[in-house]
Amino acid sequence: MNTTPEFWESRYQLGTDRWDMGKAAPGLVNLLASEDAPSPGKTLVIGCGRGYDALLFAQAGHEVIGVDFAPSAIEAARDFSKKANLPVSFLQEDIFNLPQNYTDHFDYVVEHTCFCALPPEKRIPYINLVHSLLKPSGELFAIFFTHQRSGGPPYGIQPPEIRDLFTPQFEIVQLTPIENSVPSRQGEEHFGRLRPLKQKAHQQRTNTG
């Protein structure tokens, strides 16, 4: 099953971790270099792999936690952070088992190759999880793998479906193609910037009862 730590650990061990680019994702580099770059805050990089995106945000002044359940990935991430002298915390944990004290804890959640690794039936639980982790004023920064090939992982998704799945709980501030993806992903990535609708949901509950 591709939802188990053993499956993903075997991919790292066998060298079939094709999602690993050996560097931070261009879409996230674009974000932090832009005029709309987020102010430093508590940031969770979800399904962080070897930690390139986590280190990118740490370099920009964020207080970063990276989480992944593959032991090899977390070991490498810790080694990279130590060599870079960046104070990133890395947790070897299933994202769906994150502690309850992380509820409403993060200013930002960063997504890259985690959502696409989950089978489609896990998408709603994933969205619920990210919504619960973010502060009401928080944001999700996501790179969605928008290929149209059958099967997976990685499981592709198209922008209209992203909107349908996320809009019950998120405002989609931005959902645009990434122009400078790595060659193997050209035309297959969208960058999303989404904000939780917690305050609106609270108001609706108040108004109805």
pLDDT at 9 over 70: no
Distance CA 77, CA 90 (A): 7
Q: What is the pTM of this model?
A: 0.87
* pLDDT (0 to 100) of residue 151: 74
C-alpha distance across the termini of the chain, in Å: 43
Write out the DSSP string of 85-136: T---EEEES-GGG--GGGTT-EEEEEEESSGGGS-GGGHHHHHHHHHHHEEE
Cα 37 to Cα 144: distance, rounded to the nearest angstrom: 19
Domains of the chain with bracketed CATH: 5-9+40-208 (3.40.50.150)
pLDDT digits 0-9 by tens, 136-186: 999 999 999 998 888 777 899 999 999 999 999 999 999 999 997 766 677
Whether 65 has a pLDDT exceeding 50, the answer reads yes
Among the listed residues 52, 112, 103, the one whose alpha carbon sits nearest the alpha carbon of residue 77: 52
Quote the strand ranges of 77-188, DSSP E. Answer: 89-92, 106-112, 134-145, 170-177
Gyration radius of the chain over CA positions: 16
Distance, CA of 3 to CA of 25 (rounded, Å): 23
Average of pLDDT values for 55-72?
Answer: 95
Question: Among 6-10, 63-67, 96-100, which is the least confidently predicted range?
Answer: 6-10
Q: Give the lowest-confidence range in 73-77, 91-95, 199-203.
A: 199-203
Quote the pLDDT of residue 4. 63
What is the percentage of the chain residues whose pLDDT exceeds 90?
Answer: 69
pLDDT for 199? 60
Instruction: Kindly state the average pLDDT of the residues 119-131.
Output: 95
> Tokens for 177?
């193609």
pLDDT classification of 209: cutoffs 50, 70, 90: very low
Closest CA to 65 of 82, 89, 48: 89
pLDDT band for position 70 (cuts 50, 70, 90): confident
pLDDT of residue 14: 47
> Given this model, what pLDDT does residue 202 score?
43
200 band by pLDDT with thresholds 50, 70 and 90:
very low
Computed over every residue of the chain, the mean pLDDT equals 87
